[in-house]
Chains A and B, each alone.
Chain A
Amino acid sequence: MKKYLVKRLLQIIPVLFIITFVVFVLVYLAGDPVALMLPEDASEADREALRTALGLNEPFLYQYFHFIGDLFRGNFGTSFRYHQEALPLVLERLPATFELAVASMLIAIIIAIPMGIFSAKKRNSFVDLFITGGSVLGKAMPSFWLGIMLILMLAVNYQIFPVSGRGTWAHLILPAITLGTGVAAEMTRLVRSSMLDILNQDYIRTAKSKGVSDTLVVYKHAFRNSLIPVVTITSLQVTHLVSGALITETVFSWPGLGQLLVQAVNGRDMAVVQAAVFVIAILVILINLITDLIYRLLDPRINYS
């Protein structure tokens, strides 16, 4: 197990290198950030002066190795937009995004697991059809549309929740529902199919024939065994939450990592894009690792050594 962990952790290094290179190339190819920093009527001389001052006139490879050199010293460079070090800018946004992601995931789990089980239990009934249809709808709704609709209905018309911003519990609810709906839909479908699979297994039939109550069969024998695919999808959805947060955070003016990244990409703010992608990559890798470890907890037959 230890060996496995060390191996996995070492694998992070080349992955991060590849990611930084790809991001660097993409942002570099996207064009000149100076164009976006000065007003339209700035002269070529003004732009040139700023480009020189920011070191953007150097050749690509020089800029890349310079960046890598700084990276080893833990420095992602200075944001063009904010004129501050990039990494602290990214890190200060993490709590907001984290709060939103965890709340969305909780909403998704609270909706998806009972719905999925119920749907599987009542297979092919009207309720099953309703839940399955609902989950298709939930998956199909774009989050920006859902967000705007929720604002219109629950914040503007009925004024139950605040329209935007971050601060209290009430501020968290609409963005979390917006972000959690897609995840809940995906999870409901998965819990349902996973449960159906398990309910047809021999040991369930044996349990039932022994006279074990229906509830006990479903929740003790079947549900626990159906969890492995659910855990997989949950961890995959965490990465999905980060990308979903890009849109949801903008709609709700939620000052998280997603909004920062969107603006950094729009402004070609290389240092912030790099730092944000780096942090997200580490998070995704860690979540995948944790998922693998949870598998083992759920199913002792899985052995990494």
Chain B
Amino acid sequence: MKKSFRLIFVACIILVFMVSGCSSNSSTGAKNSGEGGKDKTTLVLAQSADITTLDPQNSLSTTGDRVFRNMFSRLFNRDDKMEIQPELVDSYKNTDDVTWKFKLKEGVKFHNDDPLTAEDVKYSLERVMKDQTLKEFPYFTQLSKINVVDDLNFEIITDGPMPTLLRLLAKSGADIMPKKYIDKVGMDEFLKKPVGSGPYKFVKWDRDDRVVLESFKDYFAGAPKWKEVIVRAIPESSTRVGELLTGGVDIATDIPPNEWDRVNGEKGVSLINGDTTRVMLLVVRTTKGFATSDPKVREAIDLAINEKAIVDSVLKGTGVPVRTRVPEGVVGSNPDLYNTYEYDLEKAKKLLAEAGYKDGLEITLTAPKGRYPLDGEVAQLVASMLGEAGIKVNLKLLESSAYLDEYNSNSNKELLMIGLADGLLDASYSLVHYTKDRAAGQTDYYNPEVEKLYHDAGRNLNEEERIKQYQKIQSIVAEERPHIFLFQQNANYGVSDRVAFNSRLDEVINFSDISLK
């Protein structure tokens, strides 16, 4: 018996040595997790969530796009000011309403040395246009055909005039993948070890731990700065900040407000706030039978909420009060409705009285808790502001997935708080919510003028006119209030002082834009 007991104990010790020994040998990036930030050729980024796939057309997440944007090239990209610039494309022209001709740059290579040709473009775009199971599929349905002319020339035929084509080609999901390589190894193998033509090559992905990339010396726009980039997944925010403070990572994304003082108070790191396309808003039921079907009630709710006070208090000044879902920097934004708000408590009370709710009104506000930074606190503040105007709010704070169930099943009552972003950086993406079909069951908003403006703009290749149409829609919506807008949300990054980093509106991080100071 004595022997057996000893045996078990010794076996346990050997086991832990074996398992740990194996892992330290196999994990080449291990050294870097503690001190990667001190190495001049390695950049370490920490995100709050891991990527979920290596398929750039099946991801739809900001965390994924940050990796794919550096591994794959697209026909177009966006510069810092969100202007569309050619990336793989050398020249292009729009020959008629539905035909676009493109010529690729010469000498572009994939990471496996294969040249990038028009066949690769056709393969990649057709995949995302046709495969319904891909998460990016819904955004690419207006492309109808890709014709290859020769190795460098190809045409895109769209289903009707498509003013947003170039923006779509710069969006996530429009990544160009290597047809020849995928034909050879199969999609499953490709997704284990993807090959792109971007500045960084894939090295490995340890799920829920890290993605390791290395520089691609033959990158067509010149060899990238960083020899190695490690993108770590650290879901716990205090751990992420801990890594930043100890130099384990150079940039940590999604720093929650309760950690801001800690980051700002330390030497060697700083907090960088930047705009995003996400706007927090209240989805308002205009459906008959709800008190909010009365425009006066909707106006009263809007007037009773002091958006500036919310931004200044809860969000410590990071955020911009808005009266539209299309913030500055997105094509079609209406400057009159940006960085502004309406607050008039007395008028709100008067409007409620006029609407027949002199003795008060009771409504329900559904809001998420833990989905967006400080969402629960914002909802509570909104509820108490409405209370001052005589509107009793039943606040329904729900955990993220329960909240999404309520939102998706349209079972919410008068008000629902949500944050909506714009993946295309074009007003058409956001304003579709005010069309009859998309509003059905949600806000049930319908205005024939908005309907016509939206459909006309969607086929209008005259950019100036199209922008005016979108601005007009926003002015109407701001008055009719199927959505009551709160503020544009900020992105918060903790950044080591050794690197120079600028936040972008689309929240993309181009590793080559980050440099050592």
| A-B contact list, 8 entries, CB within 8 Å | A36-B404, A81-B52, A155-B246, A163-B34, A163-B239, A166-B30, A166-B209, A298-B1
Q: How far is the CB of A29 from chain B (nearest CB, A)?
A: 11
Instruction: Report whether A41 and B433 are in contact in the complex, using a CB–CB cutoff of 8 Å.
Output: yes
Stretch at the interface among A46-54, A124-132, A208-216: A46-54
> In this assembly, does A38 line the interface, its C-beta being within 8 Å of a C-beta of chain B?
yes
**B19-46 toward A: CB 8 Å interface, digit per residue (1/0)?**
1101110010111011000000000000
> In this assembly, does B195 line the interface, its C-beta being within 8 Å of a C-beta of chain A?
no
Instruction: Report whether B1 and A259 are in contact in the complex, using a CB–CB cutoff of 8 Å.
Output: no
Besides A42-B138, A95-B23, 19 other CB < 8 A contacts?
A38-B135, A39-B421, A40-B404, A41-B420, A47-B408, A49-B132, A82-B207, A83-B52, A99-B20, A148-B236, A148-B238, A159-B246, A163-B243, A163-B246, A164-B248, A165-B210, A266-B401, A297-B1, A298-B4
B30 in complex: contacting residue of A47, A168, A253, A260, CB < 8 Å? A168
Q: How far is the CA of A54 from the CA of B23 in the complex (A)?
A: 35
**A250-266 toward B: CB 8 Å interface, digit per residue (1/0)?**
11110100011001001
Q: Quick one: closest A residue to B419, CB to CB?
A: A40
Q: Which label, helix, strand, loop or mixed, suits the secondary structure of the B interface?
A: helix
Q: How far is the CB of A57 from chain B (nearest CB, A)?
A: 13
> In this assembly, does B426 line the interface, its C-beta being within 8 Å of a C-beta of chain A?
no
Instruction: Report whether B242 and A83 are in contact in the complex, using a CB–CB cutoff of 8 Å.
Output: no
Q: Which residues of A contact B15 (CB under 8 A)?
A: 98, 102
Stretch at the interface among A169-177, A197-205, A276-284: A169-177
Q: How far is the CA of A122 from the CA of B388 in the complex (A)?
A: 65
| Number of chain A residues close to chain B: CB under 8 A | 66
Instruction: In the A-B complex, list the 9 residue pairs whose CB atoms are closest, starting with the nearest.
Output: A167-B30, A165-B33, A162-B34, A255-B209, A99-B19, A167-B27, A53-B133, A255-B208, A163-B242
Q: How far is the CA of A38 from the CA of B2 in the complex (A)?
A: 59
Stretch at the interface among B227-235, B287-295, B469-477, B508-516: B227-235
Stretch at the interface among B53-61, B93-101, B460-468: B53-61
Instruction: Report whether A164 and B33 are in contact in the complex, using a CB–CB cutoff of 8 Å.
Output: yes
Instruction: Report whether B235 and A250 are in contact in the complex, using a CB–CB cutoff of 8 Å.
Output: yes
Q: How far is the CA of A171 from the CA of B209 in the complex (A)?
A: 13
Q: Quick one: closest B residue to A41, CB to CB?
A: B420
> In this assembly, does B423 line the interface, its C-beta being within 8 Å of a C-beta of chain A?
yes
Query: Which residues of chain B in 271-319 are interfacial with respect to chain A, using CB atoms and an 8 Å cutoff?
Result: none
Q: Which residues of B contact A83 (CB under 8 A)?
A: 52-53, 55, 58, 191
Q: How far is the CA of A95 from the CA of B22 in the complex (A)?
A: 9
Instruction: State the B residues within 8 Å of A (CB).
Output: 1-2, 4-5, 8, 12-13, 15-16, 19-20, 22-24, 27, 29-31, 33-34, 52-53, 55, 58, 60, 132-133, 135, 137-138, 191, 206-210, 232-236, 238-239, 242-243, 245-246, 248, 400-402, 404-405, 407-408, 418-421, 423, 430, 433, 438, 441
Q: Which label, helix, strand, loop or mixed, suits the secondary structure of the A interface?
A: helix
Q: Which residues of A contact B16 (CB under 8 A)?
A: 99, 102-103, 106
Q: Quick one: closest B residue to A152, CB to CB?
A: B242
> In this assembly, does A136 line the interface, its C-beta being within 8 Å of a C-beta of chain B?
no
Q: How far is the CB of B294 from chain A (nearest CB, A)?
A: 26
Q: How far is the CB of A185 from chain B (nearest CB, A)?
A: 20
Q: A95-B22, A165-B33, A166-B23 are in contact. Are A39 and B423 (CB under 8 A)?
A: yes
Q: Which residues of A contact B441 (CB under 8 A)?
A: 44
Q: Quick one: closest A residue to B442, CB to CB?
A: A44
Q: How far is the CB of A223 from chain B (nearest CB, A)?
A: 10
Instruction: Report whether A106 and B30 are in contact in the complex, using a CB–CB cutoff of 8 Å.
Output: no
A168 in complex: contacting residue of B5, B24, B55, CB < 8 Å? B24
Instruction: Report whether A36 and B19 are in contact in the complex, using a CB–CB cutoff of 8 Å.
Output: no
Q: Which residues of A contact B191 (CB under 8 A)?
A: 83
Q: Quick one: closest A residue to B422, CB to CB?
A: A41
A165 in complex: contacting residue of B8, B133, B209, B430, CB < 8 Å? B209
Q: Which residues of B contact A98 (CB under 8 A)?
A: 15, 19
Q: How far is the CA of A155 from the CA of B16 in the complex (A)?
A: 23
Q: How far is the CA of A169 from the CA of B23 in the complex (A)?
A: 9
Instruction: Report whether B242 and A151 are in contact in the complex, using a CB–CB cutoff of 8 Å.
Output: yes
Q: How far is the CA of A253 from the CA of B48 in the complex (A)?
A: 10
B8 in complex: contacting residue of A38, A152, A294, CB < 8 Å? A294
B133 in complex: contacting residue of A54, A93, A99, A102, CB < 8 Å? A54
> In this assembly, does A222 line the interface, its C-beta being within 8 Å of a C-beta of chain B?
no
Q: How far is the CB of B163 from chain A (nearest CB, A)?
A: 20
Q: How far is the CA of A99 from the CA of B407 in the complex (A)?
A: 41
Residue in B13, B236, B248, B402 with the greatest tally of chain A CB atoms within 10 Å:
B236
Q: A31-B401, A253-B209 are in contact. Are A167 and B242 (CB under 8 A)?
A: no
Q: How far is the CA of A259 from the CA of B207 in the complex (A)?
A: 10
Instruction: Report whether B408 and A32 are in contact in the complex, using a CB–CB cutoff of 8 Å.
Output: yes
Q: How far is the CB of B221 from chain A (nearest CB, A)?
A: 30
Residue in A166, A250, A268, A297 with the greatest tally of chain B CB atoms within 10 Å:
A166
Q: Quick one: closest A residue to B51, CB to CB?
A: A82
Instruction: Report whether B34 and A170 are in contact in the complex, using a CB–CB cutoff of 8 Å.
Output: yes
> In this assembly, does A300 line the interface, its C-beta being within 8 Å of a C-beta of chain B?
yes
Q: Which residues of A contact B423 (CB under 8 A)?
A: 39
Q: Quick one: closest B residue to A169, CB to CB?
A: B20
Instruction: Report whether B404 and A99 are in contact in the complex, using a CB–CB cutoff of 8 Å.
Output: no
Q: A39-B60, A40-B419, A102-B12 are in contact. Are A297 and B4 (CB under 8 A)?
A: yes
